[in-house]
Amino acid sequence: MHMNDDRINYLDHAATTPVREDVLEKMLPYFSQKFGNPSSLYALAGEARYGLDEAREQVAAVLGSRTGEVVFTGGGSESNNTAIKGVAAARQGLSPGSRSGGHVITSAIEHHAVIHPVEQLEKMGYEATYVGVDGAGRVDPDEFAAAVRPDTFLASVMLVNNEVGTIQNVSAVSQRVRDAADRVGANVLIHTDAVQAAGKLSLNVDDLGVDLMSLSAHKIYGPKGVGVLFVRRGTELEPLIAGGGQEGQMRSGTENVAAIVGMGEALTLSEAERPSNRARFHELSERLVEGIAERVPNSRFNGHHTDRVPEIANFSFPGVEGEPVLLGLDFKGIAASSGSACSSASLEPSHVLLAMGMSPELAVGSVRISMGRETTGTDIDDVLQVLPEILEQLGTFPAAGGN
């Protein structure tokens, strides 16, 4: 916040990020001069087509995939929905022995953009298993694999959790699920929601062992409303949006060329800067986590201390709801979040924290701080100064006995 000026201290990068100047600059010509429809044949369209092709090459280079396996979508939610419903639709009728449409495995801590489409499948007669997590938010790959049945067609596990930052061992999940599928004669595709992992972890699809991967541009300093679905060659997928057959028949509709160009550039830049950012974010995170533990002794750190991206840290404060803390922080110019942005309008305790074994009372008092490119040590120090004051005003700190 930089308490002496009126700049907002933005600590909600897991919700969204501003478009970087260099990304915006690259996008701008595609709104006006290079406005052609990439499917048309004249030279003007060629410019737009070149923009699309280059963005696809940029994404493929980061994923270690072929360009033909990169499908541009309208964002992370659409990518997840396409992966889940598209595979379900393609598989329907392929296992006539199964009375239900088939079986999906996912984790209990997925983003709602995975959980809700899986629930929609359940309403249509499919079956689903939601594998639980330990107290730090980690899925056990063996438990995941133990859920595989002969009619299982999809396993979906997120790479980085958006509320607590916990990293899942996706390659181990993939390996174990494939072994289990071989044993029971199932044909299981592996999907990962890597929306929160981009710019933070390697997205190499072969190392991760995935057939489908979702990404979103607005978490990595690209524009909102554009994402990627990696679809491994040979994967059968019924498109969610049918029409003119763009994106290799996987996602029809005239391409949002400017946004796609922004996605490609944002991913390339975030990947290039990834190695040099690691040490800095680890230091900032340590400063934050240790500082809060020191200054608010009854606070609780939620998540895993090492299997976590340092950019995301989640805390609970017993006896207090997240909302007044966030309002207090906002009053001081600090933007943070309670759980995930999309559920912060309701007072529902976070499904992620509940799955981690937290009581509903404690789960409504969680605060997520998520850092980004422009975050400095001063931003963290401001939080450390302001937070104890806010908790004190709310009458919960120091809370002897912690009730």
Ligand X SMILES: Cc1ncc(COP(=O)(O)O)c(C=O)c1O
**Active site residues per annotation:** 342
Nearest C-alpha neighbor of 370 from the set 199, 163, 231: 163
Tokens of 368: 């997520």
Q: What values do phi and psi take at 279, rounded to 5?
A: -65, -40
337 belongs to the binding site for ligand X (CB under 6 A): no
Q: What values do phi and psi take at 385, rounded to 5?
A: -80, -45
Measured distance CA(403)–CA(388) in Å, rounded: 17
CB of 165 to ligand X, least distance (A): 11
Measured distance CA(293)–CA(147) in Å, rounded: 38
CB of 344 to ligand X, least distance (A): 11
CB of 217 to ligand X, least distance (A): 7
Q: Which positions from 218 to 237 touch ligand X by CB under 6 A, shown as an x/- string?
A: x--------x----------
Q: Which is nearer to ligand X, 24 or 45 (CB)?
A: 24
Place of tokens 């995301």: 312
CB of 227 to ligand X, least distance (A): 5
Q: Which is nearer to ligand X, 101 or 227 (CB)?
A: 227
Stretch that binds ligand X, among 51-59, 63-71, 189-197, 313-321 (CB under 6 A): 189-197
Cα–Cα distances (Å) from 384 to 162, 280, 294, 309, in that order, read 22, 18, 10, 20
- Selected from 216, 270, 285, 302, the binder of ligand X by CB under 6 A is 216
158 belongs to the binding site for ligand X (CB under 6 A): yes
Q: Which is nearer to ligand X, 18 or 150 (CB)?
A: 18
What b-and-e string marks burial along 51-70, b requiring 16 or more CB atoms within 10 Å of the CB? bbebbbebbbebbebeeebb
Q: Which is nearer to ligand X, 141 or 227 (CB)?
A: 227
Q: Which positions from 53 to 92 touch ligand X by CB under 6 A, shown as an x/- string?
A: ----------------------xxx--x------------
- Selected from 13, 56, 111, 368, the binder of ligand X by CB under 6 A is 111
17 belongs to the binding site for ligand X (CB under 6 A): no
- Selected from 17, 106, 107, 162, the binder of ligand X by CB under 6 A is 162
Site for ligand X, rule CB under 6 A = 75-77, 80, 111, 113, 158, 162, 193, 195-196, 216, 218, 227
